[in-house]
Amino acid sequence: MRRYGKHTDEDDVRVRPSRRGSRPRTHIRPKHEDAAEGFVLTVDRGRITCLVEDRTIIAMKARELGRKGVVVGDRVALVGDLSGAKDTLARIVRVEERSSVLRRTADDNDPYERVVVANADQLAIVTALADPEPRPRLIDRCLVAAYDAGLEPLLVLTKADLAPADPLLETYAPLGVRHVVTSREELADGGAERVRTMLLGRITAFVGHSGVGKTTLVNALVPEHRRATGQVNAVTGRGRHTTTSALALPLPGEASFPPPEDGGWVIDTPGVRSFGLNHIDPSRVIHAFPDLEPGTVDCPRACGHDEPDCALDDWVADGHADPARLHSLRRLLATRERHEGD
């Protein structure tokens, strides 16, 4: 039996009202007005670690939350033992409205969405320049996911000691994505500070293939915290999925939510094999292209923006926007129809 399973939920031991169903449940339930605010740092199956004021508290979902998921980055309301003392367990009674939701599916046909992170405002798309080889298709997919979710993308190119960054940077130049190029050695030698300035005042989720150096980066950014990093397999060129759960860590400075101007949160996540985009709404993606968006008013209904009648061709031909931008937008939108890994 799973430790965190239904039958061990502490709410179950409460005696149920005998006239169950005769009154709306909300009247029976306490209102939790005295609940404390928390910020979810990590979720390990049923054990949810939250920051409450300056204490780290272990909690589990209260039964009344039902199937509603709690993910890293969530703001939650907690009741119960909030001392943070060993072996105590608080209960999460509410998940506050999320300002953003980063989702992915296992592949494009997978109807099951997993929420990767809540409330992030920046997506650091981490790509190694070599070992493992960069896969622009995955970068494109992460960009689409970021635009769809309303997160600002940040391209982080690691392992600059192994290969030059120029070819990739050229590909992404028309998109105007902010970028930073790093290497492990340079991170230790002041480079971390350069990356940190791009993260201040924000909640940044780090995503990418296994072995690209997400944890190496996060360890350099948050030196007082060390997570394990893993070798890249010399034969397959793949990482070993060293990180198995997402974890939010505060940049040096005050650890609070929302993050202070001179601080921030970084969220290390497990390496992904793919980034399925079953749930993407193209109109939300175009929203991230304010120079092109006005040109879509003359598009046919439900235009995929890649068809002969698409008004964006004329918009660009008339000089309203850079053709390279339209080209990049179309490549991103088309990434949903293509397979990853090519």
Ligand X SMILES: Nc1nc2c(ncn2[C@@H]2O[C@H](COP(=O)(O)OP(=O)(O)OP(=O)(O)O)[C@@H](O)[C@H]2O)c(=O)[nH]1
Which residues are near Zn ion by CB under 5 A?
299, 303, 305, 310
Classify strands 55-61 and 47-52 as parallel, antiparallel or unpaired.
antiparallel
Among the listed ranges 4-12, 139-147, 235-243, 316-324, the one in contact with ligand X (CB under 6 A) is: 235-243
> What letter would DSSP give residue 81?
-
Tell me the closest approach of the beta carbon of residue 295 to Zn ion, in angstroms.
8
> Could you tell which of Mg ion, Zn ion, ligand X, none binds residue 303, using a CB distance below 5 to 8 A set by kind?
Zn ion
- Cβ burial of 253 (10 Å; 0-12, 13-18, 19+) is middle
Nearer to Mg ion, 182 or 243 (CB): 243
Per DSSP, the residues of 86-141 read TT--EEEEEEPPPS-EEEEESSTT---EEEEEES--EEEEEEESSSSPP-HHHHHH
The span from the CA of 177 to the CA of 194, in Å, is: 17
Nearer to ligand X, 150 or 270 (CB): 270
SS3 282: helix
Task: Return the axis-axis angle of helices 136-149 and 323-334, rounded to nearest 10°.
Answer: 90
22 binds ligand X (CB under 6 A): no
> Could you tell which of Zn ion, Mg ion, ligand X, none binds residue 119, using a CB distance below 5 to 8 A set by kind?
none
240 binds ligand X (CB under 6 A): yes
The span from the CA of 35 to the CA of 303, in Å, is: 47
> Could you tell which of ligand X, Mg ion, Zn ion, none binds residue 103, using a CB distance below 5 to 8 A set by kind?
none
Give the number of other Cβ atoms within 10 Å of residue 302's Cβ. 7
Tell me the closest approach of the beta carbon of residue 190 to Mg ion, in angstroms.
23
Tell me the closest approach of the beta carbon of residue 122 to ligand X, in angstroms.
17
- Which residue's CB comes closest to ligand X? 271
Residues 185-224 binding ligand X (CB under 6 A) are 208, 210-216
Nearer to Zn ion, 39 or 147 (CB): 147
Tell me the closest approach of the beta carbon of residue 236 to ligand X, in angstroms.
13
Which positions touch ligand X (CB under 6 A)?
A: 158-159, 161-162, 183-184, 208, 210-216, 229-232, 239-243, 270-271
